[in-house]
Amino acid sequence: MSDGSSTEMVVAILRTEIARLAPGDRLPSSRELTTRHGVSPVTVSRAFAQLAAEGEVVTRPGSGTYVSPRRTHPAADTPDTSWQAVALAGREFDPGTQDGPPDPPPAGVIAMAGGYLHPSLRPDRALSAALARAARRPDAWDRAPAAGLAPLRAIFARTAGGAVGPEDVLVTGGGQGSLSMVFRALAAPGSPVLVESPTYPGALAAARAAGLRPVPVPMDGDGIRPDLLADAFAVTGARLLYCQPTFHNPTGTVLAPERRRQVVDVARAAGAFLVEDDFARHLGHGGPVPRALVADDRDGTVIQLTSLTKPASPSLRIAAVIARGPVMRRLQGMRRVDDFFIARPLQEAAVELVSTPAWDRHLRALSTRLRERCAVLAGALARELPDWTPARIPEGGLHLWVQLPSGLDDATVAEAARAHGVAVNPGTPSFPAEPPGAFLRLGFAAAEDPADLTEGARRLADAARACATA
């Protein structure tokens, strides 16, 4: 029998096999087919190649050959990407729940979800002026250094305080990108990462996307508990802790002064890194902002993430990682692999923005307006929903964290709230494991006007009554 006829025979046999199998089922191996039908391995390989070219099978090296998803005879000009379900099998990616800017709510829906400022709170005119000045620089379109522009690194170092110097700073493209890079740099897939419970949903998403396993460490009114943190390190063998010691998202908690040193010491004793997410340093409501953990750490235990995005604009994707020792060299190496450097015009614009008096004026005004909005929302909740007691009135940040009364489900209430014209965030995505109750995260910075927060609370009360009587 010629090679051609042998191949046609095996193709016909495999077509019959495919017809009785379901999409994703594994076909017999080359060795089985060779033995069963008395043909050569080359013949079997040619048969599989022909069927793969026709879209009937998908071959995964080292695993086998599988039946492709059934085609439904789409129109000739309609793409069919169903084959990707088989090709991506075994390469699962869990993006989790992000905390970026939500899609614009429909007209009439009050925005109390998401984690960014309403345009009326942003320094848009100062941003535009800074970008225009940056564009006029003769070297504006030159390649930027991989670690970031020296003046920008110096600005981040001064903000961190202590002994942090520009050489300890790596400029990055936004806080979320920093999280992703740091998680990939510090822990191998499958490793545990300790997190406060609750925590920032975007951190859980970044950890899981890196293949890490988030492990909850409980908090109380003073922040993460050092005693339980030590237990978690001992039980899990984790070498990584992610926390937000200043104006924690979502609760607004500030890690108590006596605990700040304890938490660093516990991490150091475990031989672990502590990732300090300092996203809210510029979002205080007028009171003192605690000193950053990284400012007093000289041994490289603390790696700080900080950003200009939250107090400025979602599109000012400028952040920084502060680290010391071999881990900084690793991060710089990852930068060269991932994206080489951050666009110079954006870095130049950031330098122009934060180096002018307009930036300080903006931060002072933003502090006042956030404090006022927080008070408006807290007062409206007290009137409209007196049994929805916030865990605390935060001294910084963009949210109130509210526990719902027994019998209410956060996802159900959030869905009902949207139906009543107000968008809020359910609390469950903030927990790395089972939540201890039902919570909502209510933002006071994304609404157009403080009066909208009062109306939003009223609509929430209507939604809660609808859920209670459903």
CB atoms within 10 A of CB 202: 23
pLDDT beneath 70: ranges in the chain:
1-4, 70-78, 82-83, 85-105, 470
Q: Which two tokens stand for residue 278?
A: 């300092």
Note the pLDDT of residue 248: 96
Note the pLDDT of residue 68: 86
Q: Which two tokens stand for residue 331?
A: 């991060």
Q: Which two tokens stand for residue 146?
A: 């991989």
Q: What CATH number has the domain spanning 123-355?
A: 3.40.640.10
Cβ(392)–Cβ(378) below 8 Å: no
What is the three-class DSSP state of 117? coil
Q: Give the tens place of pLDDT for each residue, 21-34.
A: 888 888 888 888 88
Note the pLDDT of residue 31: 86
Note the pLDDT of residue 340: 86
Q: What CATH number has the domain spanning 3-87?
A: 1.10.10.10
Q: Give the tens place of pLDDT for each residue, 356-369.
A: 999 999 999 999 99
110-116+359-469 topology per CATH: Aspartate Aminotransferase, domain 1 (3.90.1150)
CA distance 435 to 340: 40
Note the pLDDT of residue 468: 79
Note the pLDDT of residue 71: 60
Note the pLDDT of residue 454: 96
Report cis status (omega within 30 of 0) of the bond before 250.
yes
Cβ(283)–Cβ(398) below 8 Å: yes
Q: What is the DSSP string of 350-399?
A: HHHHHTSHHHHHHHHHHHHHHHHHHHHHHHHHHHH-TT--BS---SBSSE
List where CATH 3.40.640.10 sits in the chain. 123-355
